[in-house]
Structure formats: structure tokens, C-alpha cells
């Protein structure tokens, strides 16, 4: 392969990697909020053990997001995901 072709392929793979990372972070956010909703529901029903387990899973989702967030290169996207993660962390803290 010529250098230009190698560079083009690298650029394609890098862009795909960024798209997949962003998709992963968005899915993790959605999962975190789902766990938080479940935790709140279980608490209302008196299932404290299930509630705590779901709360823990929601907190783990937020931790995973924070761990990988710095790898997002687009500043606006990173900021949006960070703001959403802060919202998730607030919800988890309130549980």
C-alpha cells in the first residue's frame, strides 16, 4: 500500500472508532438512566435489595462514561455527553 492509501485507511478507522465510542457512551447513558428508574421503582415497592443493586449499576454506568469520555475528540459531543452524565450522577445521588 502506498502511504496515502495507508493514511486514508487510518483516517477511516479512526473516524469509525470515534463513532463507535460515541454510540457506546450514549447507550451507557441510556442504560444508566434505565437502571436509575428501576432503582426508584423498586424502592417504592419496598424491594430495597433490588433497588440498591440497580442504583449500583447506574453508578457504574456513570463511572464507565467518565472513564472513556476523554477519548471523544469532538468538543461539543463530549460536552453534551458529560452534561448528560452529570444528570445521571445527580439522579443516582438522589436515590
30-88 pLDDT tens trace: 999 999 999 999 999 999 999 999 999 999 999 999 999 999 999 999 999 999 999 99
Cβ-proximal residues to 29 (8 Å cutoff; 6+ apart), any chain: 61, 65, 81, 84, 85, 88
Per-position b or e across 12-24, b if 16+ CB within 10 A of its CB: eeeeeeeeebbee
- φ/ψ of residue 74, rounded to 5: -75, 120
pLDDT category of residue 7 using cuts at 50, 70 and 90: confident
Domain that holds residue 46: 3-94
Q: At residue 1, does pLDDT exceed 70?
A: no
| The total number of structural domains that make up the chain | 1
Amino acid at each position: 500500500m502506498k502511504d496515502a492509501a495507508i493514511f486514508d485507511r487510518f483516517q477511516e478507522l479512526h473516524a469509525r472508532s470515534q463513532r463507535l465510542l460515541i454510540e457506546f457512551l450514549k447507550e451507557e447513558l441510556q442504560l444508566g438512566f434505565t437502571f436509575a428508574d428501576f432503582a426508584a421503582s423498586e424502592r417504592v415497592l419496598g424491594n430495597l435489595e433490588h433497588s440498591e443493586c440497580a442504583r449500583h449499576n447506574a453508578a457504574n454506568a456513570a463511572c464507565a462514561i467518565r472513564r472513556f469520555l476523554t477519548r471523544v475528540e469532538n468538543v461539543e459531543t463530549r460536552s453534551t455527553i458529560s452534561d448528560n452524565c452529570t444528570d445521571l450522577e445527580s439522579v443516582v445521588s438522589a436515590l
